[in-house]
Each structure stands twice: as structure tokens, then as C-alpha cells.
């Protein structure tokens, strides 16, 4: 089969906020830019962001406070130079988005409205009702088009071309007809989003299967801080679909089965607006101790009835619709049922402050960049604050796009790809397609998600994590014995899901091994057997590497400190 090879200056994988912003900057500067995405760009998970995007805009607020809240929120694991850069550039990022055409909700006086979010000293989240992400994504996507970015929708990226320490392109196939092709470029950027789908109860889109992480890891490159998975306090009970933090920001109260406002016990000052890890643990604790609601005592309630119909209809209309659709509960009339849900992944592909991918703690990979949720520039450290992630995707997307422009001007040579560069991917696809074993992909995926929730979720122990290590080994064996029923080449979702499951097994193993290594509790990573933070031994990033037998080894990297004193984190 002959394989087409397309050539560009920049190839970006992912059309969420990070990918679109980078592509727009590259194309605007005159580079040829292509964005590959397995979904239509506007179906990227960025479009689901409801609550807002942070920037210190008001007179009561300041960039220093935003920076401090983010460092504290990260439980001091965030890199302080990157946090400073992001917070300093946040107001300009909002102005840039406005100039591109995004319309934010406003106050009576015409200034941009801002709502309070957890862990923030001041109302700081700018929003467009509760459809912030979609508003921004539509705008930046349109502007990227205007600048001539070549969008290739429904293309699945299966591998990178990585030789002699350089990335020179990607191997992809068209989902419509499985046609493989090579996208050859001087710079490749990954902006493939999160990977919350490793867990049974999660708020993430079906596409958030972390493909890019294992593509990178299979080349022997590291993944950073994978143990830190954020559980959002308010997922719709049973499904995990998100009820945005805007609900607590606007004044929602959490109640257990006794009608107690239990956050008074866990975070007497900030109550429901303590940071997410604190509130999620409180909810899970209430449920574990038997004060959950409903027949199975498996959720708690969030009460918004006191806010009144007007406020709910103007500021939280989407949330109300979600609760009616998924629960049959109208938040205007009654409290709604919620529990913690896997939501955001702090760890990912390690990059430096310019979005350049790291080969290890000292060296970089030439021609390879990443931004947004798939990357770990480490602005969130051990725990992300609400409304800092849309900011990260938009700001770092743009910033990395600008850096690619600069690096290409300084000269990265174009290295021609050959058809042989796609051979390994093609062989693997054909091998999977031909499998006629006894196991089903959805069954293995379900067992992975359930066991990750049970053993590597909100609370973890050495015992639960080691058990999960063994479960993943078993699941890998079953994965070798799968059956692909659909042998065709047209929209073969059977095959695509199998490839995605392979990725999920790989990066889940990183979550587990990194969590075993970190014998302390920090931010979203809570070890029942080591319940306190241990700065002496663990104030460092995890860098994990996988060999070709799936063994994972752990190394570490220093945290960039220096602007804020270490302190205990209380709310």
C-alpha cells in the first residue's frame, strides 16, 4: 500500500483550546500549520468547560494573589516560574480572547463579570454564562481558520516519527476509510487533552483516552507526576457528568443524609470553596462513614434552592438542564445528588516553560512540543485550582505556538520522512484487526476503569495500589486475547477502541507506579498509609519511564521554587 506523505512547517495534534491557539499563532506568523483531530474540533473537551477562566482583573485582586493561590493550591509542587508566567499573562490572555471575538458575561457597569471558585482569594473566574469553554473554542477555531490553518477532522494519530532524538512527524489514519498517512513537519506539537477515562466515574469526554501519553511513553520518553489525578467534588451521582464548580461558587451548600452542612467540619473557613481535593475527600469520607444519601448511601446532596430561579436560569442554565436530564432533579426545587468524579489530570508529558518536550530531567527532544492538559509544565503541581486549566490551555497553547515560530526562524531543518516510517504502526493495526480471541474490549475497559476507581482513586494505600498493579498485568494478558469483530476499513470504531484501550492500560500503569513511589499525601494524591505531606523526601516531581516489557522505573526532577515560602496548606 502506498502511503501519502504531507509536509508542513508545524503539525499539531488536538483541536481543543491549546491546539487551536497554537495553530492560530503559527499560521498568523506565516507558517504552514496543520491540526489533526480524531473529533470535530468543536467536540473537543475544551467545549465542555462550564465554569470559567481565571485572571486577576479587579481592583481587589492582584497577579501576586493569583500566583500565591495557585502555588498553595498545587500543594507547593507547581513550578513557580511557570506559575508566575501564566498568572502575569492571564489578563492579556483574556484581552486577546476578547479581541478574537469571545463575548464574556458582564457586570452592570460593562466590566467583565467574575465568579468565586475554590481556593481563590478573590472572585477571579471570567465566564460566558456556564458555556465558557465552548464560547472560547468557537472563537479561536474560527480565527485559526481565518489565518489558513489546515484542519483535518477525524484523523487518528497513532504514532510519532522519533529518530536520533528528534521528532519529524506523525503517523495517522483517516477514520473514514482507515487510509494511513504521514504528516511530516519541522515541529510537532501534542495538544491531546486529558485522560480521565481511566476511571469508571469521570467527567471526561469519551475521547479522553490519553493516546498521546502512551505514544510518548512507548518511545522510552518520560511521563511526569502521573500520580496526581484530580477528583472533582460534584459529579452527577452514578454517571460522573460534571456539575461545575460554578454551583459552589454561586453559593451551593453540601449536605449529608442527616442534613448536616458537613464542610463546616473539614474546612471551617472556606467551607464548600476549599480546594477540590479537600472537598472531594470530605464527600468520600462522609459516604464511607455511612452518611451518604439514597438507597445505596453512595452520594451526598448539593443544595442550590436558596439561590432562586432567576439566578439559576441566568447563571447556571446548563447545569440545571444536566441535572434534569441525568437525575430527573430540578435544582430550583430540590437539592441534587452528587459524588466525587475523576476530572482532571495534573501529570502528563513533561515540558519546559516554553512547551518543549523533555527527554529527561536535563535534555529536550528536538522539534517536539506539548501544551494543555496532556502536558505537564507543572503549573498545577499536585492539585489544580478551578478555572486555571482553560487559562493554561489558552495561554500555553498560544505561548508554545509563538515559541515554535521563534525556534523555526532560528532554524530547525526539515528531515524527510519515508514510507517505512509508518511500517510499525501499520503492522500493529493489522495485527489488532486480525485478532480473533475470546476477550471483549468493552469488558476489559470496564474492569480497568472500575478497578482504577476502587484502588487508585480518592484514597489509596500500598495494598490497594499493589493490587491494582497485578490487575493491570492480568488485563494486559486479556488484551492479547481480544477479538475484533469488525474487519472492515470504514469507520472501524471496534479497532479504534482497541487501540485506545492499549493506551489506557499503559498510562494507567504509570498512575499506579508513580502513586506507589510517592509515600506521602500531597494535593490530590492521598495515601491512607502516609497521610501527611513529606517535604523532606517528596518535594520533587516524579519522572517515570517504561521499557519495552512494560516495566516502569521511577526517577525524579527538582521543583522550581524560590518565589513563595513553603507552608502548610489549610483552608
Ligand X SMILES: Cc1cc2nc3c(=O)[nH]c(=O)nc-3n(C[C@H](O)[C@H](O)[C@H](O)COP(=O)(O)OP(=O)(O)OC[C@H]3O[C@@H](n4cnc5c(N)ncnc54)[C@H](O)[C@@H]3O)c2cc1C
CB 212 to ligand X: min, Å: 6
CB 354 to ligand X: min, Å: 17
Q: Please give the helix or strand (H or E) that residue 508 lies within, else none.
A: helix 493-517
Helix 493-517 with 423-433: angle, nearest 10 deg: 110
What is the size of the binding site for ligand X (CB under 6 A)? 45
User: In the chain, what is the straight-line distance between the N-terminal and C-terminal CA atoms, in Å?
Assistant: 61
- 240 contributes a contact to ligand X by CB under 6 A: no
CB 569 to ligand X: min, Å: 20
- 191 contributes a contact to ligand X by CB under 6 A: yes
Among residues 169, 193, 222, 249, which is the contact residue for ligand X, using CB under 6 A? 193
Question: Which window, 43-51, 84-92, 430-438, 462-470, contacts ligand X (CB under 6 A)?
Answer: 43-51
Return the number of the residue (100 or 554) whose C-beta is nearest ligand X. Answer: 100
- 118 contributes a contact to ligand X by CB under 6 A: no
Which residues between 444 and 503 bind ligand X (CB under 6 A)? none
Return the number of the residue (36 or 404) whose C-beta is nearest ligand X. Answer: 36
What is the C-alpha separation between 73 and 255, in angstroms, rounded?
24
Please say whether the beta carbons of 224 and 543 come within 8 A: yes
Q: Using CB under 6 A as the criterion, what x/- string covers residues 6-25 for binding ligand X?
A: -------xxxxxxx------
> Sign of the CA dihedral 432, 437, 440, 445?
negative
Cell digits of residue 148? 489558513
Q: Quote the strand ranges of 216-289, DSSP E.
A: 223-224, 229-236, 253-255
- 242 contributes a contact to ligand X by CB under 6 A: yes
- 331 contributes a contact to ligand X by CB under 6 A: no
CB 549 to ligand X: min, Å: 24
Among residues 373, 402, 421, 494, which is the contact residue for ligand X, using CB under 6 A? 373
- φ and ψ at residue 89, rounded to 5 degrees: -90, -5
For 447, counting Cβ atoms within 10 Å of its Cβ (0-12 exposed, 13-18 middle, 19+ buried), the class is: middle
Catalytic residue chosen out of the listed positions 276, 320, 445, 533 = 276
Among residues 38, 129, 197, 356, which is the contact residue for ligand X, using CB under 6 A? 38
- 105 contributes a contact to ligand X by CB under 6 A: no
Question: Is residue 533 among the annotated active site residues?
Answer: no
Question: Which window, 39-47, 257-265, 288-296, 563-571, contacts ligand X (CB under 6 A)?
Answer: 39-47
Among residues 192, 214, 378, 455, which is the contact residue for ligand X, using CB under 6 A? 192
Nearest Cα to Cα of residue 54 among 91, 101, 95: 91
Q: Which residue is nearest to ligand X (CB)?
A: 16
Return the number of the residue (49 or 187) whose C-beta is nearest ligand X. Answer: 49
CB 392 to ligand X: min, Å: 7
Return the number of the residue (207 or 287) whose C-beta is nearest ligand X. Answer: 207
Question: Which window, 65-73, 201-209, 292-300, 453-461, contacts ligand X (CB under 6 A)?
Answer: 201-209
Question: Which window, 330-338, 370-378, 467-475, 559-567, contacts ligand X (CB under 6 A)?
Answer: 370-378
Cell digits of residue 325? 436530564
Query: What's 154-215 look like in SS3?
Result: CEEEEEEEEECCEEEEEEEEECCCCCEEEEEEEEEEECCCCCHHHCCCECCCCCCCCHHHHH
- Match 436558596 to its residue by C-alpha cell: 306
- 341 contributes a contact to ligand X by CB under 6 A: no
Question: Which window, 58-66, 316-324, 381-389, 398-406, contacts ligand X (CB under 6 A)?
Answer: 381-389
- Match 506565516 to its residue by C-alpha cell: 30
CA distances from 558 to 224, 410, 506, 531, 564 (A): 12, 29, 25, 22, 16
> Sign of the CA dihedral 214, 7, 187, 207?
negative
CB 400 to ligand X: min, Å: 11
CB 370 to ligand X: min, Å: 9
Cβ neighbours of residue 7 closer than 8 Å, sequence gap 6 or more: 184, 185, 414
Beta bridge partners of 185: 8
Return the number of the residue (52 or 367) whose C-beta is nearest ligand X. Answer: 52
Nearest Cα to Cα of residue 542 among 566, 564, 525: 525
- 45 contributes a contact to ligand X by CB under 6 A: yes
Nearest Cα to Cα of residue 244 among 234, 254, 231: 234
- 342 contributes a contact to ligand X by CB under 6 A: no
Among residues 93, 105, 114, 132, which is the contact residue for ligand X, using CB under 6 A? 132
What is the C-alpha separation between 249 and 244, in angstroms, rounded?
9
CA distances from 379 to 54, 74, 83, 110, 346 (A): 13, 8, 5, 31, 9
- 405 contributes a contact to ligand X by CB under 6 A: no
- 389 contributes a contact to ligand X by CB under 6 A: yes
- 157 contributes a contact to ligand X by CB under 6 A: yes
What is the C-alpha separation between 371 and 569, in angstroms, rounded?
28
Helices (H), 101-131: none
Q: How many residues does the chain have?
A: 571
Among residues 44, 214, 383, 492, which is the contact residue for ligand X, using CB under 6 A? 44
- 33 contributes a contact to ligand X by CB under 6 A: no
- 140 contributes a contact to ligand X by CB under 6 A: no
Cβ neighbours of residue 121 closer than 8 Å, sequence gap 6 or more: 61, 65, 68, 69
- 37 contributes a contact to ligand X by CB under 6 A: yes
Return the number of the residue (46 or 492) whose C-beta is nearest ligand X. Answer: 46
- 48 contributes a contact to ligand X by CB under 6 A: yes
What is the C-alpha separation between 438 and 416, in angstroms, rounded?
42
Return the number of the residue (160 or 267) whose C-beta is nearest ligand X. Answer: 160
Beta bridge partners of 339: 235
Return the number of the residue (312 or 539) whose C-beta is nearest ligand X. Answer: 312
Residues binding ligand X (CB under 6 A):
13-19, 36-39, 41, 44-46, 48-53, 132-133, 156-157, 191-194, 203-204, 207, 211-212, 242, 244, 344, 372-374, 387-390, 393
Q: Give catalytic residues, as residue numbers.
A: 276
Amino acid at each position: 500500500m502506498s502511503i501519502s506523505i504531507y509536509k508542513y512547517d508545524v503539525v499539531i495534534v488536538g483541536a481543543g483550546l491549546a491546539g487551536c491557539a497554537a495553530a492560530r499563532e503559527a499560521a498568523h506568523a506565516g507558517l504552514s500549520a496543520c491540526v489533526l483531530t480524531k473529533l470535530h474540533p468543536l467536540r473537543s473537551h475544551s467545549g465542555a468547560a462550564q465554569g470559567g477562566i481565571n485572571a486577576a482583573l479587579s481592583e481587589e485582586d492582584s497577579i501576586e494573589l493569583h500566583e500565591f493561590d495557585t502555588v498553595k493550591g498545587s500543594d507547593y509542587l507547581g513550578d513557580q516560574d511557570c506559575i508566575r508566567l501564566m498568572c502575569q499573562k492571564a489578563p492579556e490572555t483574556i484581552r486577546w480572547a476578547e479581541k478574537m471575538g469571545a463575548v464574556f458575561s458582564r457586570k452592570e457597569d460593562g466590566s467583565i463579570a467574575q465568579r468565586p471558585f475554590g481556593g481563590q482569594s478573590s472572585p477571579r473566574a471570567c465566564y460566558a454564562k456556564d458555556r465558557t469553554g465552548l464560547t472560547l473554542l468557537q472563537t479561536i477555531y474560527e480565527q485559526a481558520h481565518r489565518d489558513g490553518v489546515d484542519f483535518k477532522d477525524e484523523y487518528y494519530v497513532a504514532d510519532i516519527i522519533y529518530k536520533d532524538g528528534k521528532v519529524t512527524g506523525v503517523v495517522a489514519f483517516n477514520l473514514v476509510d482507515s487510509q494511513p498517512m504521514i504528516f511530516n513537519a519541522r515541529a510537532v506539537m501534542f495538544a491531546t487533552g486529558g485522560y480521565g477515562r481511566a476511571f469508571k466515574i469521570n467527567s471526561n469526554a469519551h475521547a479522553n483516552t490519553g493516546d498521546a501519553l502512551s505514544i510518548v511513553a512507548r518511545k522510552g520518553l518520560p511521563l511526569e507526576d502521573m500520580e496526581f489525578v484530580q477528583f472533582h467534588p460534584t459529579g452527577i451521582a452514578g454517571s460522573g457528568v460534571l456539575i461545575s464548580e460554578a454551583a459552589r461558587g454561586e453559593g451551593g451548600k453540601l449536605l449529608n443524609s442527616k442534613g448536616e452542612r458537613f464542610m463546616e467540619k473539614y474546612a471551617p473557613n472556606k467551607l464548600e470553596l476549599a480546594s477540590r481535593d479537600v472537598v472531594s475527600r470530605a464527600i468520600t469520607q462522609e459516604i464511607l462513614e455511612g452518611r451518604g444519601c439514597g438507597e445505596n448511601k453512595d452520594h451526598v446532596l448539593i443544595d442550590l434552592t436558596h439561590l432562586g430561579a432567576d439566578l439559576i436560569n441566568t447563571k447556571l442554565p446548563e447545569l440545571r438542564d444536566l441535572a434534569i436530564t441525568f437525575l430527573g432533579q430540578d435544582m430550583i426545587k430540590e437539592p441534587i445528588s452528587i459524588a466525587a468524579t475523576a476530572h482532571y489530570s495534573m501529570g502528563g508529558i513533561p515540558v519546559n516553560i516554553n512547551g518543549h518536550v523533555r527527554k529527561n530531567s536535563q535534555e529536550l527532544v528536538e522539534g517536539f512540543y506539548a501544551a494543555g492538559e496532556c502536558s505537564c509544565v507543572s503549573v498545577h503541581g499536585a492539585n489544580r485550582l478551578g478555572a486555571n486549566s482553560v487559562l493554561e490551555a489558552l495561554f500555553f497553547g498560544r505561548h508554545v505556538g509563538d515559541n515554535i515560530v521563534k525556534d523555526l526562524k532560528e532554524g530547525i531543518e526539515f528531515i524527510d520522512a519515508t514510507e517505512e516510517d509508518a511500517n510499525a504502526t501499520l503492522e500493529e493495526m493489522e495485527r489488532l484487526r486480525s485478532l480473533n480471541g475470546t476477550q471483549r474490549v468493552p469488558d476489559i475497559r470496564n474492569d480497568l476503569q472500575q478497578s482504577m476507581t476502587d484502588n487508585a482513586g480518592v484514597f489509596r494505600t500500598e495494598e490497594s495500589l499493589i493490587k491494582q498493579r497485578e490487575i493491570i498485568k492480568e488485563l494486559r494478558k486479556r488484551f492479547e486475547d481480544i477479538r475484533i469483530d469488525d474487519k472492515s476499513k470504514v469507520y472501524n470504531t471496534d479497532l479504534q477502541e482497541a487501540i485506545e484501550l492499549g493506551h489506557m492500560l499503559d498510562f494507567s500503569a504509570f498512575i499506579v507506579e508513580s502513586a506507589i513511589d510517592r509515600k506521602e499525601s500531597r494535593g490530590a494524591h492521598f495515601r491512607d498509609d502516609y497521610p501527611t505531606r513529606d517535604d523532606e523526601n517528596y518535594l520533587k516531581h516524579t519522572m517515570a519511564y517504561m521499557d519495552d516489557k512494560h516495566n516502569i522505573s521511577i526517577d525524579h526532577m527538582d521543583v522550581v521554587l524560590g518565589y513563595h515560602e513553603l507552608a502548610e496548606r489549610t483552608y
